[in-house]
Amino acid sequence: MLKQAMWVGSGSGCYIHHHHYHHFRNPCNLPPSSTSPAAVAMSASPQSKQSHISVNTPIIAESYPIPLSPPLPAISKQIELNRATIASSNSDLFSLSKTHTIYEDEWLLAVNKPQGIYCDSVLSSLQSQKTAPPELHLANRLDRDTSGVMLITKSHKVASNLVKAFTDHKVKKTYIALCTGVAPDWETITVRSGHGRSKFGAWRVYAFSDAGRGLPGGSGVREMETSFEVLSINGKGSFREVCESEFEGSSVVVVEEKGVKMDGGDGNEIVVRAYPRSGRTHQIRLHCQYLGISIIGDVKYEGAYEWKGRVHDGHHLHAETLSFDHPVTGIRVMLRAPLPQWVNQAFANSTNIDSVHEKS
């Protein structure tokens, strides 16, 4: 089991956490991460200055944070290209219907976005309908291959109110992911790390302590946090209701070192529920990869392309719920998307899955 995190050191403020899968560096032993002092001009003749600069002065490259998650696998480039081509074609043909509707009122429309369809295509399909309101906006976005709750507002004012709610972290979300890897030795866990684009443009995990530091291209490392609970391992488990109190006293991993992938045991099928506390791009996918339980089909982040004898055309991540105070009425709303087939299959032997379907 995980040990609790603790503060150690003589007033040094070094945060160390012990975890079965990961080793974390002690920031106290590292040199300062601040940039190198600027060069000081010397009083000399122009000739000697030129000689000094070209011969004696070392060229100091700008220091950027080092990503802690691996680069994109070579196999992912062609697979992702093929998926994007197919998704583009399918998205052009997509037509939003009543069967996709989860919730609708005078101000909001929530739909269940299918896997492999772009968000903008869902919005375009709605805008093309004769009865569509003139001021439609996407309140949240999902990755191309992520299915589930997508919220659309029907006026600029409502859109503005929801943007503020998202910014103030008053909107709660949960996702279901189907993963493979070493069976976790935790039931619940919270991961805190940095997030940013590497010099090649890929999203990567960075050390939590790197938050605020600059990256190539002018962007920077930002904090991201996700809580996870294990719902099932190899079909053994139950589909529980969403419950934030699950994480009271839960262990916290503060990422400061590369994840260490354990050998053996990669054949486990694991279903987790994710509670993102921030809204970073590919956040859940990156944190699953870091924990050694990459999402099936997520070839960008080491997920299995082939599993149980078949090829998976997209990652198995589903936006399960979205809850918030209604921007007009103030009433608390929880939107729940119907579960995809792969969830049904993962819980084929569970007695609790039917009750969830009745509520979805």
Q: Which amino acid is at 98?
A: K
Position 350 scores a pLDDT of 60
More confident residue, 340 or 5: 340
Model confidence at 295: pLDDT above 50: yes
Position 143 scores a pLDDT of 96
pLDDT digits (tens, 9 = 90+) for 232-249: 999 888 888 888 777 777
Helix (H, G, I), strand (E, B) or coil at 187: coil
Mean pLDDT of the chain: 83
Q: Which amino acid is at 224?
A: M
Residues assigned a catalytic role: 143
Position 245 scores a pLDDT of 72
Distant-in-sequence, close-in-space partners of 74: CB < 8 Å, separation ≥ 6: none
Mean pLDDT score, 84-103: 96
Model confidence at 103: pLDDT above 90: yes
**Topology, domain 74-359:** Pseudouridine synthase (3.30.2350)
Mean pLDDT score, 262-277: 85
Question: Minimal CA–CA distance to 129: which of 163, 90, 96, 86?
Answer: 96
Model confidence at 218: pLDDT above 70: yes
More confident residue, 18 or 230: 230
Model confidence at 215: pLDDT above 50: yes
Q: Which amino acid is at 11?
A: G
pTM of the model: 0.80
Mean pLDDT score, 212-216: 94
More confident residue, 267 or 73: 73
Position 17 scores a pLDDT of 42
- Say which range, 73-77, 128-132, 164-168, 273-277, has the weakest mean pLDDT: 128-132
Model confidence at 332: pLDDT above 80: yes
Position 62 scores a pLDDT of 65
Model confidence at 10: pLDDT above 60: no
Model confidence at 219: pLDDT above 70: yes
Position 57 scores a pLDDT of 54
Position 264 scores a pLDDT of 60
Model confidence at 35, pLDDT cuts 50, 70, 90, reads: very low
Mean pLDDT score, 135-155: 96
CA dist., res. 173 & res. 46, Å (int): 63
Distant-in-sequence, close-in-space partners of 161: CB < 8 Å, separation ≥ 6: 327, 328
3-state SS string for 56-123: HCCCCCCCCCCCCCCCCCHHHHHHHHHHHHHHHHHHHHCCCCHHHEEEECCCEEEEEECCCCCHHHHH
CA dist., res. 235 & res. 253, Å (int): 26
Position 72 scores a pLDDT of 92
Domain coordinates in residue numbering, the chain: 74-359
pLDDT digits (tens, 9 = 90+) for 169-210: 899 999 999 999 999 999 999 999 999 999 888 999 999 999
Model confidence at 167: pLDDT above 70: yes
Taking 3-state DSSP, the helix, strand and coil percentages for the chain, each rounded to the nearest 5, stand at: 25, 30, 45
Mean pLDDT score, 327-345: 94
Model confidence at 43, pLDDT cuts 50, 70, 90, reads: very low
